[in-house]
């Protein structure tokens, strides 16, 4: 019984997931979104990096009207795809911390949710890339996109405070 108690009380270290670099020749796109239910607005952020972790490009968008949080998250995927297309990427890995969006995109973007038209747009953009996949990551791994997404809120507060 003492042995069982000691085994139960033994704490295993909790390791936080950190950013994992993509394979050589692939670019990593971290995407994130926020949704504000009190006014129905949202924002997105996307960050593209080399396998070394070096910054390539980023984008952020603000939307006055967003139906729900998953719709905002799929808008972030769309923004990441558009950014990758704009700079001429062919081999990409997209990471999102929204499991619902990741699983939907892994199944060709078929959805009956409110974001269905956005998934359709993503699916069309998806077809234009030679090598593409989407993965789920935790929020710590997605920090760069989260910061880009929240930059809009900071800019709004800064603008409102100084004018």
Q: How many domains is the chain built from?
A: 1
Let me know if residue 10 belongs to a domain: no
Let me know if residue 89 belongs to a domain: yes
The answer to whether residues 27 and 53 touch, using CB atoms and an 8 Å cutoff, is: no
Let me know if residue 1 belongs to a domain: no
pTM over 0.85: no
Q: What is the pLDDT of residues 58-77, one digit of tens each?
A: 999 999 999 999 999 999 99
Let me know if residue 109 belongs to a domain: yes
SS3 44: strand
Q: What is the domain extent for residue 72?
A: 22-162
pLDDT at 18: 62
* CATH code of the domain covering residue 29: 3.30.420.10
Q: What is the pLDDT of residues 69-111, one digit of tens each?
A: 999 999 999 999 999 999 999 999 999 999 999 999 999 888 8
Cβ-based neighbours of 52, under 8 Å, separated by 6 or more = 21
Let me know if residue 80 belongs to a domain: yes
The angle formed by the CA atoms of residues 37, 144 and 76, to the nearest 5 degrees, is 45
Let me know if residue 6 belongs to a domain: no
pLDDT at 77: 97
Going along 65-127, which residue ranges are E strands? 91-96
Q: Is the pLDDT of residue 34 over 70?
A: yes
Let me know if residue 14 belongs to a domain: no
Let me know if residue 7 belongs to a domain: no
Q: What single-letter DSSP state applies at residue 97?
A: S
């Amino acid at each position: 019984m003492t042995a069982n108690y000691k085994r139960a009380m033994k704490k295993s270290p909790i390791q936080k997931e950190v950013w994992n670099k993509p394979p050589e020749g692939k670019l990593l796109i971290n995407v994130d979104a926020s949704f504000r239910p009190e006014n129905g607005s949202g924002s997105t952020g996307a960050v593209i990096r080399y396998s070394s972790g070096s910054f390539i490009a980023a984008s952020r968008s603000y939307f006055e009207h967003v139906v729900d949080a998953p719709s905002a998250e799929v808008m972030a995927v769309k923004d990441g795809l558009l950014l990758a297309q704009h700079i001429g990427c062919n081999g990409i890995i997209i990471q999102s911390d929204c499991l619902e969006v990741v699983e939907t995109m892994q199944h060709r973007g078929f959805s009956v949710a409110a974001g269905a038209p956005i998934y359709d747009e993503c699916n069309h953009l998806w077809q234009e890339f030679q090598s593409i996949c989407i993965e789920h990551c935790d929020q710590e791994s997605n920090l760069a996109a989260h910061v880009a997404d929240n930059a809009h809120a900071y800019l709004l507060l800064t603008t409102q405070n100084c004018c």
